[in-house]
Structure 1
Amino acid sequence: MSELTISVAAAEFGRDMDACYRTIGALMEQARARGSGLLVLPEACLGGYLPSLGGGAETEEAKQRRLRSLPPALELDGPELRRVIAMAGDLVVTLGFCEADGETRYNAAVTLSGDGILGSYRKVHQPLGENLCYAAGSEYRAFDTPVGRLGMQICYDKAFPEAARSLALDGAEIITSLSAWPTARTATVERMEEDRWKQRFDIYDRARAVENQVVWVASNQAGTFGSLRFVCSAKVVGPGGEVLADTGVEPGLATAAVDVAAALEQARGGGMYNLRDRRPELYHRVVQRHGVVGRPDAPDLVSAGVLP
Structure 2
Amino acid sequence: MVRLAAAAASFSRDVAFDLDRIGVIISHARDAGAAVLALPDGALGGYLDDLRDPDPGSLPPELDPDGEEIRAVIRLAGDMVVCLGYCEGGPPDEHGPVRYNAAVCLTGDGVLGRHRKVHHPPGVAPLFRPGHCFTAFDTPAGRMGMMIDHDKTFPEAARALALDGAGVIACLSAWPTSLTNRAPRMTQDRQARLFDLYDQSRAAENQVVWLSANQSGRNGALHFLGRAKVVGPGGEVLARTWSKGGLAMAEVDPPAMIGAARAVLHHLEERRPDTYGRCR
Q: Do these two structures clear the TM 0.5 threshold for a shared fold by scoring above it?
A: yes
Q: What is residue 291 of structure 1 aligned with on the other side?
A: none
Alpha-carbon distance in 2 for matches of 1:42, 1:78: 19
Q: Does 1:74 align with 2:45?
A: no
Instruction: Give the counterpart of 1:246 among 237, 240, 248.
Output: 240
Q: What is residue 26 of structure 1 aligned with on the other side?
A: 24
Alpha-carbon distance in 2 for matches of 1:249, 1:228: 13
Alpha-carbon distance in 1 for matches of 2:66, 2:85: 15
Tell me which amino acid in the other structure corresponds to 2:142. Answer: G
Retained in 2: the 8 A contact 1:183–1:229? Answer: yes
Q: CA deviation at 1:161?
A: 0.3
Alpha-carbon distance in 2 for matches of 1:187, 1:17: 32
Q: Does 1:222 align with 2:216?
A: yes
Tell me which amino acid in the other structure corresponds to 1:94. Answer: C
Relative to the length of structure 1, the TM-score reads: 0.87
Q: What is residue 41 of structure 1 aligned with on the other side?
A: 39
Q: What is residue 95 of structure 2 aligned with on the other side?
A: none
Structure 2 residue ranges without an equivalent (≥5): 93-97
Relative to the length of structure 2, the TM-score reads: 0.96
Question: Quick check: which one's strand share is greater?
Answer: 2
- Cα deviation digits, residues 15-36 of structure 1 (max 9, x gap): 0112101110110011001111
Count of residues paired in the alignment: 275
Where do 1:297-308 residues align within 5 Å?
A: none
Larger radius of gyration, structure 1 or 2? Answer: 1
Q: What is residue 72 of structure 2 aligned with on the other side?
A: 83
Q: Does 1:160 align with 2:154?
A: yes
- Cα deviation digits, residues 183-205 of structure 1 (max 9, x gap): 00122222111111001000000
Retained in 2: the 8 A contact 1:193–1:249? Answer: no
Q: CA deviation at 1:102?
A: 2.0
Alpha-carbon distance in 2 for matches of 1:241, 1:94: 22
Alpha-carbon distance in 1 for matches of 2:13, 2:90: 20
Q: CA deviation at 1:128?
A: 3.2
Alpha-carbon distance in 1 for matches of 2:72, 2:182: 39
Where do 1:10-25 residues align within 5 Å?
A: 10-25=8-23
Q: Hey, which bits of structure 1, 4+ residues long, moved more than 4 A?
A: none
Q: What is residue 133 of structure 1 aligned with on the other side?
A: 127
Q: What is residue 180 of structure 1 aligned with on the other side?
A: 174
Tell me which amino acid in the other structure corresponds to 1:72. Answer: P
| TM-align CA RMSD | 1.2
Alpha-carbon distance in 1 for matches of 2:65, 2:132: 17
Alpha-carbon distance in 1 for matches of 2:179, 2:162: 32
Structure 1 residue ranges without an equivalent (≥5): 286-293, 295-299, 301-308
Q: What is residue 4 of structure 1 aligned with on the other side?
A: 2
Q: Secondary structure at the match of 2:266?
A: coil
Alpha-carbon distance in 2 for matches of 1:169, 1:133: 30
